[in-house]
């Protein structure tokens, strides 16, 4: 089995590759990322490339001819502004259009976001109204539509995973949970703009397990929310961290 992964140098991509979940199977993996990565597993090869320069590596990708594509790439995080959203839409559009070049392609997997939903302060289900007003949300929704359209055109399986608030290894230092851990470890009071605003947090390990499961299990194609079904505020998280540190 041949698997192509974009965004391999990102938060979720690095966890997926380094989780050893993929090395347990008789597969070959080709990763694309903007940073140079050195993997110990002999079945993983890496191309250092910005997907803005997709045509430079297209011949290589066609020769690799993946069975499965996992599209994780998104540039410019944490800035979700209009410029970055348009750039990422264009990158994903061109990449999705390239899928017709892969003769062995059977399944495509990509990550959406809980921010696609119009009403962000309540429990969400996959059929809820979507937010076309915010540039990031709208870009993700438009990419999803292209993604599903291409899967139907090629008659292949697809999974669009709307992830909620992911935390774990390789996360940005300024993200809320790493920031709280660092502040409390240094005995500093965290400065939080919205200390009581609750969000649904999910471990990156749970995300990578679901992605790995979707590689090998053919459940129904569709859109799936990936969350913990529980909400925590920064105050709640601080209490959990303090309990782990000092008890």
pLDDT value for 24 = 59
Q: What is the pLDDT of residue 236?
A: 94
Which burial class, exposed, middle or buried, applies to 244 when counting CB atoms under 10 A from its CB (0-12, 13-18, 19+)?
Answer: exposed
- Give the model's pLDDT for residue 243: 87
In this structure, are residues 141 and 116 in contact, taking their beta carbons and an 8 Å threshold? Answer: yes
Cα 82 to chain centroid distance, Å, stands at: 19
Given a cut of 70, the residues of the chain with pLDDT beneath it are: 20-27, 38-40
How many angstroms separate the CA atoms of 105 and 157, rounded? 9
> CA 38, CA 17: separation in Å to the nearest integer?
11
Helical (H) or strand (E) element with 176:
helix 176-185
- Distances in Å between the Cα of 170 and the Cα atoms of 25, 129, 161, 212 are 24, 32, 20, 19
Q: Please report which helix (H) or strand (E) contains residue 55, including its range.
A: helix 54-64
C-alpha neighbours within 13 Å on the C-beta side of residue 45: 8
Q: How many helices (H) and strands (E) are present in the chain, helices listed first?
A: 7, 10
């Amino acid at each position: 089995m041949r698997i192509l992964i974009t965004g391999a140098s990102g938060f979720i991509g690095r966890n997926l590759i380094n989780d050893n979940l993929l090395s347990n199977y008789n597969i070959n993996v080709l990763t694309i990322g903007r940073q140079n990565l050195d993997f110990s597993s002999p079945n993983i090869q890496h191309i250092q490339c910005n997907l803005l320069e997709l045509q430079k590596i297209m011949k290589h990708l066609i020769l690799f001819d993946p069975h499965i594509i996992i599209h994780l790439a998104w540039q410019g995080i944490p800035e979700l502004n209009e410029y970055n959203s348009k750039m990422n839409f264009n990158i994903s559009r061109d990449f999705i259009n390239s899928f017709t070049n892969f003769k062995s392609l059977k399944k495509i997997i990509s990550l959406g976001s809980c921010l696609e939903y119009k009403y962000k302060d309540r429990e969400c289900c996959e059929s809820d109204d979507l937010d076309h007003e915010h540039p990031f949300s709208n870009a993700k929704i438009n990419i999803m539509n292209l993604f599903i359209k291409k899967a139907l055109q090629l008659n292949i399986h697809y999974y669009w995973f709307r992830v909620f608030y992911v935390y774990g290894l390789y996360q940005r230092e300024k993200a809320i949970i790493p920031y709280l851990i660092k502040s409390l470890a240094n005995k500093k009071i965290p400065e939080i703009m919205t200390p009581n605003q609750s969000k649904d947090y999910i471990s990156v390990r749970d995300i990578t397990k679901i992605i790995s499961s979707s590689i090998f299990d053919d459940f129904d194609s569709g859109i799936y929310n990936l969350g913990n079904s529980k909400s925590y505020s920064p105050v709640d998280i601080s209490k959990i961290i303090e309990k782990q540190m000092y008890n």
